[in-house]
Chains A and B, each alone.
Chain A
Amino acid sequence: MSETSRTRTGDRDIFPADEAEADDAFLIERSRREPEVFAGVFHRHAPEIKRYVTRRLGADAAEDVVADTFLAAFRGREGYDPSQPSARPWLYGIATNLIRRHKRVEVRQLRVLERTGVDPVTVPFTERSDERLSAGAVRRRLAAALARLPAGHRDVLLLVTWGGLTYVEAAQAMDIPVGTVRSRVNRARSKVREELGGVDPTSVSEETFHE
């Protein structure tokens, strides 16, 4: 299908399919004939997708959602647009659809965080929880804001923040126009800002974190 991606193989070195070298479109294209090659797409993106889904739903649901995401991607690989070198938007899109099925879980956990300041999602990962407590008020309000957003707005907002997608990529992921992404992000941002209104963000002590 995509001749452009195929030509990349011509000058490959010893380990061309090595994850850094072939682009996703090439791997996916090749996986149509050799399904096992699709494992490369998993190795390349599963950690990122897993972390994203975990942030939204917690570790338990994330395992299922991530597994389902890659199963659905594998099954749908024929439909992959070979002009897209990176599969990230595609995979985030599939994951987002699957996350929707767990909307109640997501919102319930946000509400718990809002009400109690304890985040069910991060508890298993937070050994030094004391470091986090200083930002408790902000986190609770962020949770409140996220819980109240319409699902489609929350999806887009988190794709461009936690997912690190550009607006164009988020539009691809959600299969909506870029303009819609922009307006949803803007609206979602202002709601979050409103919610944070009562908190002076600058008063939050700097946590140690690594993004």
Chain B
Amino acid sequence: MNEMTQLNRLRSEVPWPDPTELRAEEQRLLSEIAAFGASSPARPPGRTYRLPDRPVGLRGILRVNLRTSLAIGAMAAAITAIVYFAPSAPDKGSAVQVAPVAMSAVLQRAADTASERDDLAPNPGQFLAYELQVMFPVKLKEDGKEVRYLDRSLFKVWLPVEGSPLDGGVMSSEHLEPKPFPGESLPAEAKRREGGVAAPSKLTGYDIRPDHRRTDYAYLSRLPTDPAGMREHLYRDLARDPLADYTAWGNVGSMITRAYMPAAQRAALFRAAGTIPGVETVNEAEDAAGRRGVAVAMVNKFGGVRHEYIFDPTTYLYLGERVVVVDAATAGAPEGTLLTSTAQLKVEVVDHAPEVRTG
């Protein structure tokens, strides 16, 4: 037995971690992907919100049903993007009809609605708090066998009104009751996870976005309020190649993803987004909370998926997000497969993010 063998034995009792022991690390990576990597082509127009009777003069907690899409959608997609699964019994969403013509009408109405609503008025030093419900497929190994189920989670994210998400951004999550994968039984691990709570923890990572890609409220509220100016912003610094439209669309997404801006900018953004080639509408869609609506969508040819952003069919309020396979070969999952769905439940302005555990 030579010294290399001896050395190989040293600390060999350190076990291979199982996935549950890597959750903290995974969570941090997914937060990073969601926060800064959300350049996925399908970031649709964000949405208006309706203020319930707002207590006049009450600063602090303004609670509204805002329905912008959140980066958590990307987070869910993060998992599904590699954990592909066969389509459930073809759901309604997979049978969506695409009607390219209607797109601008949806966006137009959304934009018009946006400018009619009251705005949140967050101030530097405060936080915007987002809450969303996400469903996404999870594949894991149980007793050496691959099993699948649909994970449902609730995420809360607090982001500073001004500055990088890393400057005080906080996130927490909670596993809701999982759903069995259609045609399969619920894995024991899925049940074990139910009710699992990730206490608020600081967003960490690297924020290397150029200054003009900031998405904090303070910055977004200074963007142009006209569609042409906003469109210019979306395409700023982009090479003139076929990817530019995807990237511009992605920029829209990151601006509404865990982000909030005044109505004037929102309206401009919706209109600008509508000028991006490749946008289409989907007549029937459902978000993670089971709310039905219509969607604006862009097909990501590179991923073989269509990202849908769902609006209330009558008010065009933003409801949530879905990712559906449209090209099996590229996406690596059968056409119609629902890869993820998200519902944004609310956003509010708060004075403080929750305390985080330290260390």
Contact = CB atoms under 8 A, between A and B. Distances in A.
Q: Which of A12, A27, A34 has the most CB of B within 10 A?
A: A34
A39 B39 contact: no
Interface residues of B, number: 58
Q: Which of B19, B302, B332 has the most CB of A within 10 A?
A: B332
28 contacts: A14-B334, A17-B81, A17-B84, A33-B243, A35-B39, A35-B78, A36-B40, A36-B74, A36-B81, A36-B82, A39-B29, A39-B81, A40-B82, A42-B29, A46-B25, A47-B16, A51-B15, A55-B11, A55-B14, A67-B28, A74-B29, A138-B6, A142-B6, A142-B7, A161-B4, A193-B3, A201-B3, A211-B9
Given A17-B332, A38-B37, A75 B206 contact: yes
Nearest to B5: A201
Given A35-B40, A63-B25, A9 B329 contact: yes
Chain A to chain B: the 6 pairs with minimum beta-carbon distance, closest first: A35-B37, A36-B78, A40-B82, A16-B332, A67-B25, A36-B81
A74 B81 CA distance: 15
A38 B84 contact: no
A168 interface: no
B25 A34 contact: no
Given A51-B17, A67-B28, A71-B204, A33 B4 contact: no
Nearest to B73: A36
Given A33-B41, A46-B26, A70-B28, 19 more contacts: A9-B332, A14-B332, A15-B333, A30-B303, A34-B81, A34-B302, A34-B303, A37-B81, A38-B78, A39-B79, A46-B25, A71-B29, A74-B37, A122-B11, A193-B3, A196-B6, A201-B1, A204-B1, A209-B9
B32 A71 contact: yes
B78 A39 contact: yes
A189 B2 CA distance: 10
Contact of A42 (B1, B26, B205, B208): B26
B101 interface: no
A39 B77 CA distance: 10
Interface in B299-336: 300, 302-303, 328-330, 332-334
Interface in B181-221: 204-206, 208
A163 to B, nearest CB: 11
B17 A14 contact: no
Contacts of B206: 71-72, 75
B37 A14 contact: no
A18 interface: yes
A202 interface: yes
Nearest to A202: B1
A47 B3 contact: no
Nearest to A201: B1
A67 B11 contact: no
A119 B39 CA distance: 45
A209 B10 contact: no
A70 B13 contact: no
A43 interface: yes
Contacts of B158: none
Contacts of B12: 209-211
Interface of A: 9-10, 12, 14-19, 27, 30, 33-40, 42-43, 46-48, 50-51, 54-55, 63, 66-67, 70-72, 74-75, 119, 121-122, 125-126, 132, 135, 138-139, 142-143, 157, 161-162, 189, 192-193, 196, 201-202, 204, 207, 209-211
B208 A192 contact: no
Contacts of A66: 22, 25
A23 to B, nearest CB: 13
B75 interface: yes
Interface in B29-77: 29-30, 32-33, 37-41, 74-75, 77
B24 interface: yes
Contacts of A35: 33, 37-40, 74, 78
Nearest to B38: A35
A145 B119 CA distance: 65
Contact of B13 (A42, A202, A209): A209
A114 to B, nearest CB: 12
B8 interface: yes
Contacts of B15: 51, 125
A47 B16 CA distance: 6
B82 A125 contact: no
A70 B172 CA distance: 20
A162 B6 CA distance: 11
A37 B18 CA distance: 21
A79 B330 CA distance: 24
B244 interface: no
B29 A38 contact: yes
Contact of B3 (A38, A70, A139, A196): A196
B148 to A, nearest CB: 11
A67 B28 CA distance: 6
Contacts of B13: 122, 125-126, 132, 209
Contacts of B10: 55, 139, 142-143
